[in-house]
Structure 1
Amino acid sequence: MKILVTGGTGLIGRHLVMRLQTLSHHVTVLTRDAQRAQQTLGPEIATMTTLAPLSHLNEFDAVINLAGEPIAERRWTDEQKNKLCQSRWDVTGQLSLLMRQSDNPPSVFISGSATGYYGDQNDALVDEDEPPIIDFAHTLCARWENLALRARNEKTRVCLSRTGVVLAADGGLLGRLLPLYKVGLSGPIGDGTQFMSWIHIDDIVNALLFMLTTDGLAGPFNVCSPYPVRNEHFSSVLAGVLHRPAFTRVPARAVQLFLGEGASLILGGQRAMPRRLTEAGFTFCFSELEAALTEIVNAV
């Protein structure tokens, strides 16, 4: 297949592009920095730096849209919130427009989203039909998804990947936590009772490939393990896998001072369940947290 990928140098994108290449797909990465993309993904990767010259996407069989400013790395000022939105909304809207203008559009459009779509749901079990709590994260994700759905027609199915916390050693939350846990300088965040919907990096890549190749799949999918955990349990398991203590609790106030409104992503959470994905026949390689963390730590 000829596949256009946005966000190809991000955490999920790097692992996905490498897998697609292994499977002999022809991948083109939309990136602002072609040189950096080729350094990250290999000199043979095809790149484009803008969609502006294009009037259609007839030459592609599929589009996987993972572009977006990292959501929890900076304080949510008004300026940063605007970056978070526009970095997702602009490219998604452009892609949908190009697909609508195509005589022979890509047969599938997989577009990123997040379990943050549901807002802070406390302890409630959340599947794809759960009504959301309206907050900034929901507003961001809802428009992101609606823009992607504009590409939907009789020739193009649209899958929305509502992703949980991605666990990998080379980036994301776990990539930042591992050095701290290895020296015994971390533990539960806040009161630790908030749920985390998580997924091993291999499973999210497998899930995206499953959506890519399974005819008929469309709509939103919670892409996360069927066994979400509380933050204090996550901390205990990670410390155990590393054979380190986890008694240095991170105060909620410190997270709030650092991230502002964005602290809600870490101090709140969702107990999301991948109902539609499992009903479609997808099988997780790492559904249990300890097995997932053990594999990641041992592979470093």
Structure 2
Amino acid sequence: MVHIAGTQAFETVSDAVDEVNKLKGAVSKTEWSASSAFDSEKDKTAFRQYEDACERVKTFYREQHEKQTVEFNLRVRQNFKKTVRARMGIWEAMEMLDTLVDDSDPDTSLTQIEHLLQTAEAIRRDGKPEWMQAAGLVHDLGKLLYLFGSEGQWDVVGDTFVVGCKFSEKNIYPTTFEGNPDAHDPVYSTEYGVYAPNCGLENVMLSWGHDEYLYNVLKNQSSLPEDALYMIRYHSFYPWHREGAYSHLTNAADERALAAVRAFNPYDLYSKSDDPVDPEKLKPYYQGLIAKFFPDVIEW
């Protein structure tokens, strides 16, 4: 049995926010916190209908919930530090990702470049700042993991959740965690597990996937403000930002992150029903935006 305490790998999730991010400073909340307008007439009950989802989605989550263990998460974070998987720019990465359709998503079968541009365009139409448009443009680029030799989509996509303590009943398909050995571990199956009460999300390990991967790629390779990095890191953490789970682990410092993710979420979720976009037509605008926040080449 592998426990988190005392392991070198846990530094990834327990260290304080890097000094480089502090230097970027916090942006004014009024720039991005106003409610989204583009989705005002959309039927939001039509999204995230997991009980009616196809078997592809249900099979995905069963596998994810059974395999995302503490032991796996410690190992994959150690491997992340050792390997540069590719060197390329943001637009090239978007085009590379265009071959992937997310098996966990019941709301769309669009390829990823279309979803990224739909998200960014919805943020742009609502007059949100350029850094938030950029966050929307790149937020799912961590799914490149699937093309970089992941073990499957189960360690790349889907809702994220806390590992190292009891799995929340507010996760989707909660009964499928019964197949995860951590659900029967004498430490990991308890309410707090290896964590202290209200220790804060910086000291909690989420299931590995595209959110955590992209956050670690971009935190030192972009000029995105901290609020954008929150949006990227936690946008799939639906049990927390939508269902209110894991409040026994969060603290006051997480309130800013929660506000940022909730401001971002409508653009990620409800833009999936927007009209298709033309990547080539939008490319000049977004290449200019990319140049403002990212280097020409990023180490993936």
Using structure 2 for the length normalisation, give the TM-score.
0.25
Higher fraction of helix: 2
Q: Which is richer in strand?
A: 1
**Greater RCO (CA < 8 Å, at least 6 residues apart):** 2
TM-score (norm 1): 0.25
